[in-house]
């Protein structure tokens, strides 16, 4: 059990048998009455978000999520196949469990498979990935006066905004959590 006073962004809790992750929280101390914690939580199974208020100090069961490092192998059409890097066991992950991680799938990429007990609840890509730009419009000389950006499609299919000097074939470092360009690799 964890106190609502100890909530942190990204923490996983269990309410009525459903797993939620805390997206954001705010401790509120009104002039009169008891303090409370206003939260925005996201259902880890179906992705729905909701707002919930907890009394200050209220105990909530904390869900224990195991992160297992695995390597992405291939897509079978109805599932994504990952291999345990220690035991070489292969598991199938449904597209419903993938969430936003689908846009970062790259052959042989190492990712964390999130498990609650024996059930797969999600995939977490590495925080930063080096990827190749497969499509972007050309930047023209003199376009840099405002330091603008342009969209670029990466080898995984993800689209990120990049500086005007980035061209097709360049390898760039991308933050997978915010889908932001970091630098040329």
pLDDT value of position 141: 60
Answer whether residue 144 shows pLDDT above 60.
Answer: no
Residue-level length of the chain = 185
What tokens were used for 102? Answer: 């689908």
Go through the domains of the chain in sequence order and give each one's CATH number.
2-60 (2.30.30.30), 66-124 (2.40.50.140), 128-184 (2.40.50.140)
- Whose CA is closest to 34, among 15, 53, 60, 7? 53
Determine the pLDDT at residue 43.
Answer: 85
Is the model's pLDDT at 143 over the cut of 90? Answer: no
pTM of the model: 0.71
Tokens 């499509």, residue located: 135
Round to whole Å and give the CA distance between 117 and 110.
Answer: 21
42-80 tens-digit pLDDT: 887 777 889 999 998 899 998 888 888 999 999 888 889
What confidence tier does 132 reach under pLDDT thresholds 50, 70, 90? very high
Tell me the per-residue pLDDT of 158-179, one tens digit each, with 9 for 90 and over.
999 998 888 899 999 999 888 8
Q: How far is CA 104 from CA 11, 70, 98, 111, 184, in A?
A: 23, 14, 10, 10, 18
Write the CA distances from 121 to 7, 43, 181, integer angstroms.
21, 10, 28
* Rounded to 5°, angle at Cα 153 from 71 and 156: 15
């Amino acid at each position: 059990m964890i106190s609502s006073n100890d909530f942190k962004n990204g923490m996983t809790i269990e309410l009525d048998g459903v797993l939620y992750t805390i997206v954001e929280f705010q401790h509120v101390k009104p002039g009169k009455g008891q303090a409370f914690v206003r939260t925005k939580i996201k259902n880890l199974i179906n992705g729905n978000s909701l707002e919930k208020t907890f009394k200050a100090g209220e105990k909530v069961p904390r869900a224990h999520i195991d992160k297992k490092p695995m390597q992405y192998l291939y897509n079978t059409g109805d599932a994504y196949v990952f291999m345990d890097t220690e035991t070489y066991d292969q598991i199938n992950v449904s597209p419903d469990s993938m969430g936003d991680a689908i846009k970062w799938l790259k052959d042989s990429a190492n990712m964390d498979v999130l498990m609650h007990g024996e059930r797969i609840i999600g995939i977490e890509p590495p925080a930063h990935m080096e990827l190749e730009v497969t499509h972007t419009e050309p930047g023209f000389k003199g376009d840099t006066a405002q330091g603008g950006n342009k969209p670029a499609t990466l080898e995984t299919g993800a689209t990120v905004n990049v500086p005007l000097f980035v061209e097709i074939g360049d390898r760039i470092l991308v933050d997978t959590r915010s889908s932001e360009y970091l630098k040329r690799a």
